[in-house]
Structure 1
């Protein structure tokens, strides 16, 4: 993660603790758990920059690991997310909670995630849609160097699809939420939440946050035969083989 990731973690956690952030977390949990209903396995890993935002429902998979670069109540593993302490092909499902956007090298993080993901394993990525109203507002606020969003590197779902395709993963589905971020307080906040919930149910395509569900595909290995091997095989199969001759029966001698 970034060198000042501790400060970013604290700021992002404060943002998620506000009404708008809590509203977004509620919808992100809905999206993640809907996608995890189609996932079977044992190990589930969630990677993110915050420490108090578990997304998967309890007992979704048998073993859930929440990993971060800082300790916290819900964190079970402290790790450098770009060098995960897991063997290859060992994790059945991984959830990236806004991890790519705050990574110094998102390509390396995605390659590392793909490495530890098991064959046919599932990956769910949550990210800010840079082409939405929320994405544009974070870009404008990020112009100030002291802003939390100054450290956010926008990554569109289309670009992420290309990256996953190059790694050999297939995108199964994508969903959007947070099309109308809650604003204000009191009645205005309640009304904006209802509008956003309505747009979330109807999957408004310009939602501020996307959830992309992909699966790691493993191409079966087919050995390439050299020309001399093919000729040898053809020659061997063309050799004549004597067929067994049945022994005479007693009735034949008797005749």
Structure 2
């Protein structure tokens, strides 16, 4: 079984695959201060509570937006799973051509999501990942990663309002139902929810015009922990796939294994 680990700036998502089937998934806070033993005990505990054991894990694939955590997780895999993990990065065959000025600048999670999206939906397409940042990635009809957009995330922006505007409270991020706020909390929720929906729609439309100038049809797939907040408000999003990055890690791992056995 494959243990896929996507390390984001705020959250770490783990998934256990049996073949192509995702058997279980967990989301925990990313904490660079944890030791490798703390992570080892956390991972094995989560597996055991879901009915698995460390012995059932035969491979580990990792993508990380937090580079200092990679060596710690590598050593954790050696100690607790007796495995060398596949860490997605330069030199790892993903099956996707990267048309970025400097391919090393593209986060491994972005490539994993792009690989999964193209495999499942075809191109051209745009992946919108709602995480610590809102990231939009463009993939061509030929399956090439072309680049994208990075914008501030919903939580980051809401926290900034609370921290830097003395009279504004920390609020619950929910859809207020109407744009015209009748109180401060309602007004902030409106600005964040509807404001970010408008931001995403405008960016998608601009990117689609460049990616698909003839209007043949550009697919738009959303993922990420904050996506469901805006699904009903973003007019351009066509599909929601909460497991996109984990699926991409599984696909890249399978391709890496096939290449190692002499496959393509």
Quickly name the TM-score band, shorter chain normalised: under 0.3
TM-score (norm 2): 0.24
Question: Which of 1 and 2 has greater Rg?
Answer: 1
